[in-house]
Chain A
């Protein structure tokens, strides 16, 4: 077994330290070492998008990154989306209202990709939304209601309730 390495990273504003084998994937560390099980493990080879997290603001697949590569980086996972007081993020609110999820397995990955999209493109076209959603697979809800959820989330974020 290769020597373990100490790493430091920030997840959802909280500093963590972990000691990991080089072969451990980022998602396994998030779930198994840090206890952040909101990020889901799907295909484990970078196809389904369930494990998507934000790394330094960019949506990346955490199943095809090594945990050791996370050293020094700043992450956001689904656990960081709602406020600490438990108030849902507009993306989460929109998913409820537009029925953007059924089983919910793919939802954390979708939401992190959508967050990246809306942070960079607050008023996206349908094509831009589809481009961002294309990196994730949903097998039960269907994409139409997810698309509607993104449109609704974009509106909420552009015009927050006064």
Chain B
């Protein structure tokens, strides 16, 4: 058998899951879709002594429109998000990002909350959560709270979630009509984790950029918002010259990304700039 031995619990309510987390503390690991955790268990890179499987918790799988936002249950399969006409209509960036996750076979099991709580810096959902100002709804021993994406991602695979807390819902604001958007990534093979990626939203008003969001992924310990680039865009007529300047600035200014067997640090930096340019061009084309 591949994983090390663990005790297994399958609570049916959030309250039960939280009290199990409280009881077992750092020894315990929540199992959502398992598409990241079970590989880690199989390779024994993770050896929790307690696994708390939240797949049988009721009421955590839904996509609803709630005012100006999408409310997505943490255990909603990525495939459901991808298929939801509502998501495509209300937030096409979230829809496009979801389609870039792994493969259909992964998205059939992988969950929205699982990906965001796992916080892989190369993953799509944390990046768009940051770009779209998503809000994480969390339940813990002291009740419920909401944490904005900007405060949620701490470092590699680490969020502000406390050991006895659980992500229950992700609220993603609607993308306002006319906002241009894009997500670009480069992976060695389709479906692999991105070597680097960029996601952009762009609002244009009378030929001038009125608002912009630029977020990189796969090049730092968390998804990275590049405010410097946003400031260069806002108030400007966005043209090819400005876009390529911003790309060059990103390539030369971001902290050195980690290198691995797939890409050097220099290559990732360069890629981050190039992908931002492509994202800006596409977002500009979509902005009305």
Contact = CB atoms under 8 A, between A and B. Distances in A.
Interface bin, chain B: 20 to 34
Contact of B55 (A59, A69, A131): A69
A46 B7 contact: no
Interface in B178-198: 189-191
Interface in B1-27: 1-8, 10
Interface bin, chain A: 35 or more
Contacts of A46: 35, 38-39, 106
Given A21-B1, A45-B39, A45-B43, A68 B104 contact: no
Contacts of B1: 21, 23-25, 28
Contacts of A60: 105, 108-109
A36 interface: no
B83 to A, nearest CB: 10
Grouping DSSP codes into helix (H, G, I), strand (E, B) and loop, the A interface class, with mixed when no group exceeds half, is mixed
Contacts of A21: 1, 5
Interface in A48-72: 49, 52, 55, 58-61, 63-66, 68-69
Interface in B75-107: 79, 102-106
6 closest Cβ pairs, A-B complex: A135-B103, A22-B8, A45-B39, A64-B38, A135-B105, A23-B3
17 contacts: A2-B7, A2-B8, A22-B5, A23-B1, A23-B5, A25-B2, A25-B3, A45-B38, A45-B42, A46-B35, A49-B103, A58-B109, A60-B109, A63-B38, A65-B38, A134-B189, A135-B102
